Structures are given as structure tokens and as C-alpha cells.
Structure 1
Amino acid sequence: MLIEVDKFGLLPLPHPPTPESTYAVVDRIIESVPKEWKLSNSSPNYSTEVYYKVMDSEPWFLRKTLHDADTHPFEWFKRAIYDDHFDNMVKYYEVVQSNELKVEREGGWKGYTLKYKLPAPFAERDLATWLLKDYSDEDNTFTVVALPADIPLPEDATTRGVYSFFHRVRKTEDNQVEWIMGQTSDMKGNLPRWVQNYSIGGILVSDVKDFVNWLDANYGVVGEDGEESDENFEDAE
């Protein structure tokens, strides 16, 4: 049984929402930027902008970047973020230690558990999340949404963290790849929320460079003829 939603939060859901209402929330959030948000951080690298807003008592961060499609093709982003999303997160995001598919639901939703290893002295965190994806070949656009799931964690789980996030990536008419991601999270335990929020803006800026470097290292280099090399795709699976 799917439910209707008009917002995203951090309360674990026993049933995921309808895809239509989920994508409508993503659309509304993106359309509200920047007029309803405060600029938190920025960088000239990839025209990075990070915005901040409190929505329904939860602190949200949204990041926008632009990438030259001749250097970093849309297909690279699709393979890294849309295809095998959590499997790739384990590879390019060092705090994510593992993920496991637990359940599949109607509408294309999949339920996963993930294990995060935070910097010492903090303990590991375990998360359960619903994941939904949509891709439009006609528009060269894809969307990925993750929401907290009320499903069992592994027996060795320690502290349950929660997060909601989305990615919207599209190839623009001027041959740019626009990558928008939004997130709110609470890793719980003895890690104060204000400490988490204070660091997120800067982390979201530095994460872009780390991710692009991972693309370069795993997905090859665009050749002189403008065609992407796929010699490293097999290793990146």
C-alpha cells in the first residue's frame, strides 16, 4: 500500500509514497531555489552553490553544480548515481561501508539497509531507506530519491541514523550537466545535531571534487573525438 506525501521528513515510513507524489515534492523543492533559501556555501569549481532552509522543523541543504558534458558526460553521472546507486556509494564515499537490498515494493521502490562508519570516536550508524529512481531518455534527466524506511536493521546494528535525499541530474541545451541534490539527516547517538548541521555545508562543497575525481579514475577520459572512453567501466561496476 503506497501513501501520498506532500513533504519529506525523517520519520521512518513503513510504506513508501506514490512515485507521483514523491517526484512532485522534488519538483516543488527545486522550484523554490534560490528565492526561498539562504546561500550557505559556494565555490567557483563547477559553479557550486549550497543552500540552506528549515522545512517542517528539519534543516535541509541543497547543492547545485554544473559540469562540462564534454569532459564529464551525462552518462557518467547516470552510471554512478542512477545505476547501482548504493553499490557505487560504497566505492566513492568512504564512510559508507556496505548496503543490502531487503525488500521490493510496488511503484519501483526498494528497501535497503546501510552501514556507515563515522570518524572516531563515534560509533557506526545503521540506516534503513526506501530508494526510488526515474529516468527520461527523451529529456536526458534522471531523479533518485531516498526516504527513511521502517524496516528491520541487521542483527549487529548499533545506532539507527536517518536521512532523506534526492538527486536530479539533467543534460542542458548548452551541453552542461546540471546536478542538484538535496538532503536532511540525523545520525543520532552522541553526535549533536548542531555539530552535524555546522559541517554539512562545507562537506557538500568538497564532496563534489572527490566525486568528480572518482568519475575520472573509474570511467576513463573523454577522447579527442569527443567520445567517452569506457575502458574502465567494467572495473567500476
Structure 2
Amino acid sequence: MTESSDVKLSITSIKPSDIPSEDAIFKAADSIIESCTTWKQGKTYHKVVKTYLRAKGADDGAPWHCRVSVHKPDEATFDQMWEKLGKDKANNEKQFIPDIHKVTKVKEISPNQAIWTLYYKFPPPVSPRVFTELQITRVSEEKPRTGIVISMPIDLSSPEDTELAKMEEKGVRGRYVSIERIVEQEDGSTEWRMATSSTPGGSIPSWLAEGTMASKISDDVPHFMKWLRSLPKTETSA
């Protein structure tokens, strides 16, 4: 694990042996997620999901997109959201994101760090995509209570990672970096922010992928809320 204090979060994949320190990763993530509402504002989706765009910069492999929504306690509490977004995230995402068909935990690094591989299937003629990601979580009980999940693209092509690479599905390799944060507000509502930069890989033109990104990430909000409401009360009573 490297100790770089100047981490740049981007779609550039890193090897497991080069994962930066947690503090450096969270410092970089905080800077991005705090600033996203100052980016160029885009459309509002589903009446409540605001979107923002940051053009590709010198250190970026692709533009950044952000969505922000606020949810009242009768829709979802902070505890309910963190239970499903901050714990076992990949398996939970498979339940409410239709394109995810399989997730596999490649390696658990610590209780709050693990490498996952996610297998996406799309309607033809788009080929399946494979995203292998480091997921790191952190939650603070200090007010305002805050939970954050960071995903960073991981490269398992090195000889020392051969056994780990065997757990990846066959498909076009895509890459994404994302920062997801929930913050409990004074009135009990929860603000949910997500910032991401990605490339689908393959022959899909970047302009096409970028043109649909805002609506795509916004759709995850109602998908999640609908799924959360469908769960037995024993699973959402946090």
C-alpha cells in the first residue's frame, strides 16, 4: 500500500499493490464531493435529483458527473440508507440496478476495504462489461452523521494477481471511479450525493456514453428507493 498524500481520483486503474493510504483517498474524495454543487448545473430528474457536470481536466481520464438528492425520514432514514449503501454495497446494488447481473468479492483487504468485480449486461448490440473496483467505506457518528463509499478501478493484470484475475467474468473491461456520500441533516432528512467519472471501454463513442450519464445515474435514486420499500420491515428497521 502506497503512502502518497496527493492522490488523484480518476478512471486510471491501479494495481492492488499500489493502493494509496485510506486517509489520502478520503482526502481526495472529500475535495471532489464537497465541490460538486459548484460545477455546471444540469437537468433535474425525477423532480428531486439535481445533476452537475465538471468537464474533463488535465488529471482526469473523463468528465465528472454528480447527482444530489434529499430524502425525508418517511422515505428513508440515514440508518436505512447506510445499511444498504455502505454495507455489502455490491450485492445490494445488484438488487436495484437492472444492468448488474453478477458481483464477486475478489479480495477482502480489511473490514471496510474490498476488491469486487461487477458484471454488467446490456441490451444488444452492446457487449457485457466488467468493472473491477476497490470499494472503501467510512462512517462517522459525529453530527452531522456522514457515511461515504469510494470505488476505484483496479487492474489485476500483473502476474502476482493471476489468481485474483481468475474471478473476473469475460467481457469488455470498463472503468469507473465514484464517491457516494450520505449526510444526515438537522431536520432528519438525508442528503445523498454521488460523483462519478467513467469509461465503458470498447467501441462505444465517448460522446454517446457521456450524453446519457446524467439520466443514468439519476435513475439509480428511484430504483434504490423502490427496492428499499420492497424489503421486509425487519431489513429496514435500522
Could you tell me which amino acid in structure 1 is paired with residue 182 of structure 2?
Answer: V
For 1:167, which of 172, 180, 186 is the aligned residue?
180
1:119 paired with 2:123, answer yes
Q: What is the TM-score when the length of structure 1 is the normalising length? A: 0.86
Confirm whether residue 2 of structure 1 aligns to residue 2 of structure 2: yes
Q: What amino acid is aligned across from residue 155 of structure 2 in structure 1? A: D
Asked if 1:12 corresponds to 2:16, the answer is no
SS at match of 1:31: helix
1:49 partner letter: K
In the TM superposition, 1:1-237 aligns within 5 A as 1-4=1-4, 5-14=6-15, 15-35=18-38, 37-43=39-45, 45-46=47-48, 48-54=49-55, 55=57, 56-57=59-60, 58-105=62-109, 108-139=112-143, 140-151=145-156, 152=165, 154=167, 156-218=169-231, 230-233=233-236
Q: If the length of structure 2 is used for normalisation, what is the TM-score? A: 0.86
User: Structure 1 residues 43 and 122 mapped into 2: Cα distance closer, same or farther (>3 Å)?
Assistant: closer
Letter aligned with residue 213 of structure 1: K
Do the aligned residues in 1 keep the contact of 2:106 with 2:116 (CA within 8 Å)?
Answer: yes
Between 4-13 and 168-177, the greater mean CA deviation after superposition: 4-13
Q: Which amino acid aligns with 2:149?
A: V
Q: Aligned in 2, Cα 1:141/1:157: closer, same or farther, shift over 3 Å?
A: same
CA distance in 2, matches of 1:97, 1:44: 25
Write the distance in 2 (CA, Å) between the matches of 1:145 and 1:155: 20
Q: Could you tell me how far 1:185 is from its partner in structure 2?
A: 0.9
5+ residue gaps, structure 2, are 157-164
CA contact (8 A) 2:133 2:154 kept: yes
Counterpart of 1:101, as a letter, is: K
Aligned residues: 222
Following the alignment from structure 2 to structure 1, what is the Cα–Cα distance between the partners of residues 46 and 169? 43
Counterpart of 1:222? none
Alignment RMSD (CA, Å): 2.0
Distance 1:44 1:117 in 2: 24
The alpha-carbon distance between structure 1 residues 214 and 30, as it changes in their structure 2 partners (threshold 3 A), is same
Identity of aligned residues (%): 24
